[in-house]
A and B are shown apart, each in its own frame.
Chain A
Amino acid sequence: MSTLWQDLRYGARMLRKRPGFTLVAVITLALGIGANTAIFTVVNAVLLRSLPYENSEQLVRIGSANLQKGTRLGTFSPQDFYDWRERNTVFESMAAYDGWSPSLTGTGEPERLAAGRVSSSFFDVLKARPALGRSFLPAEEQRGNHLVAVLSHGLWQRRFGANPSIIGQSITLNGLSYTVVGVMPQGFEPPQFSGLDFERPELWAPFAPDLSQWSRSGRAVDAGIARLKPGVTLQQAEAEMATIGQQLQQQYPESNAGFGTSLASLQDQLVGSIRPALFVFLAAVGFVLLIACANVANLLLARAATRQREIAIRTALGAGRLRVIRQLLTESVLLALLGGGLGLLLALWATDFLVALGSGSIPHPGKIGLDGRVLSFTMALTFVTGIVFGLLPALQASKPDLNETLKDGGRSATGGAGRQRLRSLLVVSEIALSLMLLVGAGLLVKSFIRLQQVNPGFDPANVLAMYVFLPGAKYPDDARQVAFFDQVEQRVAALPGVESVGMVSNLPISGNFDQVSFYIEGQPTPNPGDVPDVERYYVNADYFRALRIPLKTGRPFGPEDRADAPRSVIIGEATARRFWPNESPIGKRVKLGALDSSDPWLAIVGVVGDVRHYALDIAPAPQIYLPYTQSPSQQMTLLVRGSTSDPESQAAAVRDQVWAVDRDQPVYNIKSMERVVAESMAQRRFTVLLLGIFSAVALMLAVIGLYGVMTYMVTQRTHEIGVRMALGAQAGDVLKLIVGHAMTLVVIGVLMGLAASFAMTRVISSFLYNVSATDPWTFAGVPLVLCAVAALASYIPARRATKVDPMVALRYE
């Protein structure tokens, strides 16, 4: 122990004595360790830490499965849900969850809330108890008893001034009076189902569907969650639920044929979309750390040359090789500890940066932070880093040529051939690793550029979007809903600078869509699982003009599409191509929803261009548009095309016109369409930006490494250069000698990196859009850039070598 203390003391003294070396090494290591700690902090919070619920590993998400199409965790009917709940023996409890956006009125400004309709057991499944009051009772799942609500802590504070007497009081949601029965505690985070909730719910009401209005084939309930009984595995639960699904198929073939059940661990389901990106980030920062290690190892090798004599003396005095290695490793671990300490500080800042950069892409951002596991990771990483970068130099330094070195006495020692080879090998590895990162980043950047060039099917410039959701209690019938939106349209259209006012039930690129079964008149009825789906949108006549969606054939909606006129629809090109590949669809009739329903057949009057509704990188699905005058919708998004390039500046004026029609009507999600499009690419932008940063750091470290090796080599070869110059070598010959040596290393590294990049294309291919994982331009361009930067880095020491004075150099030792 005392000898370890001696080693530590000596190591600290050595680092203090060479502040330049120590500073460069510590900053290099801090970059590597800090980047790893920051990414691990996110990985820890998102992937490793349990969900914030008791025994969260027992929680699963349940949904339907379309066995023909292979889709999982789909929406389901309330009837199916009740059967699942009743027949299973594997779950302790099960709850349905349906997204809801009620308008809160009566206290302050009207506000649209993010909310959920949930089974009475929802909070029991999560083992969450209200801080005030109670959760829902089973009887409150019955219509008539269902007008009760549980508030989140945030909503209770924000809208009700944290009133401790809130329990039992009434609040107005969608014009109906609900009694508050509970307030959830601070910190309760309900699960956010990916693709369903864009905001975290702040209020819950019982899931109490009017079953007389629902058919079993109307699969519209968003999600189910359940808690496994102790000792039951996910596989056992999947097996039993599959059996129940088969029973329902046999029992209700007209609605359930081709549909089963699907389960997933809630943790996997909630973090699934970000998981691959996090693994890529982990690999990228791992590369950065390896490059940092190679750089510091190179510095240590250079320093080992100057310490050769000290090591030889220690060996002569009886230090065994292991003892010398231990001394050197103690020093490198000490260096790593300093780097790790600074890296941890860097990580604190970088984590905040990451969370800000990835807002919207990272689940549970509030839970991301340092904890014991992150600190243990950083500590372990620091020790391993110290060993990794210290071991090779220590092994090299621990076998000095005693005879020669001790005889040399005061003469400065030079690096042996083995040490030179090792330094070259490290630089080659750095170049190879950074090339791999640069190729990955290059492919992602190109992919991102391609994505930005994708035609979304509409023109987002100069368009303001604003959500309006009419409460059913206040606007219970079609006429009142149409009247409201008609008035709003007229008032907004009259505003100065407004060119057109469109309205649509689900905004393009928002990720929201309404999928519905689709039947063509005169064609045989397909099996339930084979019924094609189309995306259904309710729009006003000016929607296509407002978003500049081109009309391909037929006519747009107009005044003739009155509520009492024959029903008309417009379809997208993909719908026309798929269902009428060789004929005009104009005049054909289709039915949406259930074939046996009393809904009328709809005649196709026009075909418009396809719109990317889900995301820019997902090809448009078959789409169908219904005039809202014939099929009103409570939820519409106003799309106001104006003459200004800053449409958000019109927000207040447009909102005032909505409030002029109904002062209690909330409007929300007000943003320009350009912003909507930009936000749809947030996760890709996050991935590109982060990988770009890591690649830039890697390139910088690799180039610094190359520069260091070449500078050291010039110092070592000063005598030789002097002799060459004395014998008549020109500056160009010396430049060629040094740059040539550097470029040999670079080319070897580039070739190795290219081979490894080709081998790893499978990893990156799932992140690419419209770019091949072996894109020749990227694979050719990145090495060229790297070679150019490396040539510049080696030119500086080479230029210095040309300034060598032969007279001085020949005396140089």
Chain B
Amino acid sequence: MTQSGQPLIRLEGVTKVFYTDEVETHALAGTHLDIGRGEYVSITGPSGCGKSTLLSILGLLDSPSDGAYWLDGKTVSDLSLSERARIRNREVGFIFQSFNLIGDLTVYENVELPLTYRGMNAADRRKRCTDALERVGMAHRAKHLPSQLSGGQQQRVAVARAVAGEPLILLADEPTGNLDSTNGEAVMELLRELHRGGATICMVTHDPRYARYADRAIHLFDGRVVKEEESVEAA
């Protein structure tokens, strides 16, 4: 919860309808969700239940068809494209299943990229990038290209990029989906450390082992939240 008592994220009656030819697909059907500051939430559910759509809306990569979305007390459901880009840049950190590093940029440049868009000066950028890479243990690979790293290392770089901007929330979409179990565990440990350091995390996963790392697990089915439970392991 925020200091004013409001949650960091609040969704009320959010729907998302996709139209393909003459077929309507209801990916989200009146979703309500609150995520408090410092909370670690996992979103689970079967394939096609709307997990990734929900995460895209939370990350302002997509907009709801209906309903309201507050981020840090401010409504963000009807912003312009440039305002959404600004909020994504400053308030949200993304970690994707497929890492989504830019292959033509070095590790350092990938981490630096969102800070560049923020207009931050070079000295501050350098400090933030170095700190972030050290936190994930990748500072020694700063000049490498993503193709020169293993999957686990690439995801650690993606985590560094997500945290370098000190966002309000980290959104992770199947962060272990493309990793073997050893690397998957390592990334989950990294997220747990970040959470312990105060980060708010919302993670989509279909793997119950990793859902248990979160404080709270939210189960989606056919676009609705059908169950919320405190994680025993986290607790």
Chain A positions near chain B (C-beta within 8 angstroms): 2-3, 6, 10, 13-14, 17, 309-310, 312-323, 402-403, 406-407, 409-410
Contact = CB atoms under 8 A, between A and B. Distances in A.
B1 to A, nearest CB: 26
A322 B59 CA distance: 20
B19 to A, nearest CB: 14
Contact of A406 (B86, B100, B161): B100
Contacts of B102: 310, 313-314
A318 B89 CA distance: 4
B100 A313 contact: yes
A13 B145 CA distance: 13
Given A17-B104, A406-B96, A318 B56 contact: no
Interface in B72-99: 81-82, 85-86, 88-90, 94, 96-98
Given A310-B103, A316-B61, A318-B117, 15 more contacts: A312-B100, A316-B59, A317-B161, A318-B88, A318-B89, A319-B85, A319-B89, A320-B85, A321-B85, A323-B85, A402-B62, A403-B53, A406-B100, A409-B97, A410-B98
Nearest to B90: A318
Given A318-B118, A319-B117, A10 B105 contact: yes
A409 B53 CA distance: 15
A14 B104 CA distance: 7
Contact of A321 (B81, B103, B118, B178): B81
Contacts of A319: 85, 89, 117
B122 A316 contact: no
A612 to B, nearest CB: 67
A77 B98 CA distance: 92
B205 interface: no
A317 B97 contact: no
A6 B62 contact: no
A13 B105 CA distance: 9
Contacts of B52: 403, 407
A2 B96 contact: no
B62 A316 contact: no
28 contacts: A2-B122, A10-B104, A13-B104, A17-B104, A313-B101, A314-B102, A315-B85, A316-B61, A316-B94, A317-B89, A318-B85, A318-B86, A318-B88, A318-B89, A318-B117, A318-B118, A320-B117, A321-B82, A321-B85, A323-B117, A402-B61, A402-B62, A403-B52, A403-B56, A403-B62, A406-B100, A409-B100, A409-B178
Contacts of B122: 2
A322 B101 CA distance: 21
Contacts of B105: 10
B116 to A, nearest CB: 6
A316 B88 contact: yes
Nearest to A312: B100
Contacts of A321: 81-82, 85
A10 B105 CA distance: 8
A310 B81 contact: no
B104 A317 contact: no
B7 interface: no
Contacts of B94: 316-317
A315 B82 CA distance: 10
A317 B89 CA distance: 5
Contacts of B86: 318, 320
Interface string B26-58: 000000000000000000000000001100100
Nearest to A402: B61
Instruction: Name the residue among B56, B117, B161 with the largest chain A CB count within 10 angstroms.
Output: B117
B117 A317 contact: yes
Contact of B61 (A2, A13, A403, A410): A403
Nearest to A411: B98
Nearest to B178: A409
B82 A402 contact: no
Query: What 5 A-B pairs have minimum CB-CB distances, sorted nearest first?
Result: A318-B89, A409-B98, A317-B114, A402-B61, A320-B85
Nearest to B119: A3
Contact of B56 (A13, A317, A402): A402
A315 B61 CA distance: 9
Given A10-B104, A316-B100, A317-B94, A406 B61 contact: yes
B90 A409 contact: no
A406 B53 CA distance: 12
Nearest to A309: B100
Interface in B106-147: 113-114, 116-119, 122
A658 B122 CA distance: 87
B96 A409 contact: yes
Nearest to A317: B114
A316 B114 CA distance: 9
B62 A317 contact: no
Contacts of B89: 317-319
A318 B82 CA distance: 9
Contacts of A407: 52
Contacts of A315: 85
Given A10-B105, A310-B102, A402-B62, A317 B96 contact: no
B170 to A, nearest CB: 13
Contacts of A409: 96-98, 100, 178
A6 B116 CA distance: 9
Nearest to A16: B104
Nearest to B56: A403
Chain B CB count within 10 A is highest, among A309, A314, A318, A322, for A318
B84 to A, nearest CB: 9
A409 B122 CA distance: 30
A613 to B, nearest CB: 70
A3 B63 CA distance: 29
A813 to B, nearest CB: 14
Contacts of A2: 122
A800 to B, nearest CB: 28
A684 B61 CA distance: 62
Contacts of A403: 52-53, 56, 61-62
B183 to A, nearest CB: 16
A6 B104 CA distance: 13
Nearest to B125: A2
Nearest to A315: B85
A320 B114 CA distance: 11
B112 to A, nearest CB: 9
Contact of A3 (B85, B104, B116, B161): B116
Given A10-B105, A314-B113, A403-B62, A320 B100 contact: no
Contacts of A406: 61, 96, 98, 100
A318 B105 CA distance: 17
A17 B53 CA distance: 35
Contacts of B59: 316
A496 B8 CA distance: 112
A409 to B, nearest CB: 3
A721 to B, nearest CB: 23
A319 B89 CA distance: 7
The listed residue with most A CB atoms (<10 A of its CB), out of B86, B89, B122, is B89
Contacts of A322: 82
Interface string B155-189: 00000010000000000000000100000000000
Nearest to B93: A317
Nearest to B16: A403
Nearest to B162: A317
B113 A317 contact: yes
A2 B86 CA distance: 20
Interface string B196-226: 0000000000000000000000000000000
A13 B103 CA distance: 11
A315 B86 CA distance: 10
Nearest to A410: B98
A311 to B, nearest CB: 10
A314 B161 CA distance: 12
Nearest to A3: B116
B215 to A, nearest CB: 26
Contacts of B53: 403
A399 to B, nearest CB: 8
Contacts of A323: 85, 117
